[in-house]
Amino acid sequence: MKYLIGTSLLVIFIILYILFHPLDFLSGKELPFDDEQEGLSNQIVIRFSHVVAENTPKGLAAQKFAQLVEQKTNGLVKVEVFPNARLYTDDEELKALRNNDVQMIAPSLSKMTKLNSDWGLFDLPFLFQNKEDIASFLSSKAGKKFLTLHEDEGIKGLALWSNGFKQMTSNVNPVQHPEDFVGQRFRIMPSDIIAEQFQALGASPIEVPFDQLYSALQEDQFDGQENTISNIYSRRIYGFQKYLTISNHGFLGYAVLINEKFWNSLPDKVKPKIQEAMNETTNWMISQSQKMNDDQLKWIEKESSIQIHYLSDKDKMEWYPKFKPVYHKFLQSVHSKELKKFAEERMEQMETQ
Ligand code: LMR
């Protein structure tokens, strides 16, 4: 009996559907997806925009985070990742986050200096010794304070991700000694501290957004640039530059940010799951970025004719004195006493080496 009623209701439903949607039926279009019925009407979607390729440490970390969030929330939260500045470029993404056009972004820390000069700390040359040193600062009290720096502006920090050290490339000459920089034009990210670094070396800094890097290089808008191997590899910068110096002189990290109003609107049971997924991704990113940068350096060596120079400790001793004004510039603009002390200590260490 139950079976008969059920079947009759189904037949009535199909007849009614055909009556009200004759064109869909005739054109063979599939029935619309009923998300009420599937229990997806409450699904929360997080749009996560970034500017690099999918096969980079940041690109892979964003995808890993998306998978973990989906797993940990049993599909209640879906993270949609938009790589390659497909939605917003470097210049646009902070505004898009504030407007809640996207809910998450992960700009490089250098790009955060326009909001607060304290972020310039991360652009100081030779600030960190190795990946352990980076990880220990990022997880320290001083490092974690960066996450709350923009809460008054509606932006919450979820994590700081590391993509390891930047290297130098150039077309004019191999950069080994400070005088090798003189007169060259170097592409930089928007940061007064990075601009000062190249000026201190006698070069001209030129700001170019990441999505325009490849075309600017083809148009000969600059002679050299600094970046991690993963970005040099994924943007094929090595194909347009003659010399690569493994200098490990600078750090490239990312501020993983979420629109604060959106975050506050999330159900209480969901927030810890997202944070858990983020913490796992952050730990994974430290070793993953190192591995990718190491592997891709080997591929560059194999695939291209770029000349590679490894900066020796002796070479570094020549660079250090040049960077004193860069540290002084930061010390003049920093607000936090803790960061000031940290930068002063690092400058002293550099001077005594
Ligand atoms: C750059 O502009 O070179 C980097 O910030 C790109 C990135 O996000 O890794």
> How many Cβ atoms from other residues are within 10 Å of residue 117's Cβ?
18
Spatial CA neighbour of 258 closest among 94, 141, 37: 94
SS3 259: strand
Distance 100 CA to ligand 1 centre (A): 22
The domains found in the chain, sorted by start residue, are 35-352 (3.40.190.170)
- By CB atoms closer than 10 A (0-12, 13-18, 19+), residue 320 is middle
Q: Name the residue of 231, 233, 292 whose CB sits within 8 Å of the most ligand 1 atoms, as the mutation to test its pocket.
A: 231
Q: Which of 233, 251, 252 to mutate to test the pocket of ligand 1 (most atoms within 8 A of CB)?
A: 252
Atom 5, ligand 1: residue with shortest CA distance: 108
Taking alpha carbons only, the member of 241, 173, 164 closest to residue 202 is 173
Is 231 near ligand 1, meaning CB less than 6 Å away? yes
Tokens of 319: 């660079």
Hey, which of 90, 109, 169, 232 would you mutate to test ligand 1's pocket, going by the most ligand atoms within 8 Å of its Cβ? 90
Q: Which two tokens stand for residue 234?
A: 């994924």
Q: What's the pTM value of the predicted model, to 2 decimals? A: 0.88
Closest atom, ligand 1, to C-alpha of 56: 9
User: Between the CA of residue 348 and those of 130, 228, 320, 323, what are the distances in Å?
Assistant: 17, 26, 11, 12
Please report the atom of ligand 1 found closest to the CA of residue 106.
8
Instruction: Count other C-beta atoms under 10 Å from residue 146's C-beta.
Output: 22
Q: Alpha carbon 125 to chain centroid distance? A: 19
Ligand 1 within 6 A of CB of 227: yes
Which ligand 1 atom is the nearest neighbour of the CA of 107?
8
- Give residue 6 CA to ligand 1 midpoint distance, Å: 59
Q: What is the pLDDT along the chain (353 residues), one digit of tens a residue?
A: 555 555 555 555 555 554 444 434 333 333 333 334 445 568 999 999 999 999 999 999 999 999 999 999 999 999 999 999 999 999 999 999 999 999 999 999 999 999 999 999 999 999 999 999 999 999 999 999 999 999 999 999 999 999 999 999 999 999 999 999 999 999 999 999 999 999 999 999 999 999 999 999 999 999 999 999 999 999 999 999 999 999 999 999 999 999 999 999 999 999 999 999 999 999 999 889 999 999 999 999 999 999 999 999 999 999 999 999 999 999 999 999 999 999 999 999 988 87
Pocket test for ligand 1, best of 108, 212, 233 (most atoms within 8 A of CB): 108
DSSP per-residue string spanning 20-76: H-HHHHHHTPPPPP-TTTTT-TT-EEEEEE-SS-TTSHHHHHHHHHHHHHHHHTTTS
Closest CA to 325 of 210, 202, 225: 202
Report the chain's C-alpha Rg in angstroms.
25
129 burial via Cβ count (<10 Å: 0-12, 13-18, 19+): exposed
Looking from the CA of residue 225, the nearest atom of ligand 1 is 3
- Cα gap 331→311, rounded to integer Å: 27
Torsion sign across C-alpha atoms 74, 80, 84, 85: negative
In whole angstroms, what is the distance from residue 129 CA to residue 247 CA? 12
Encoding tokens for residue 80?
């949609």
CB 134 within 8 A of CB 162: yes
Other beta carbons within 10 Å of 232? 25
Cα separation, 257 vs 94, whole angstroms: 9
Let me know: does 159 contact 62? Beta carbons within 8 Å.
no
Neighbours of 178 (CB within 10 A): 18
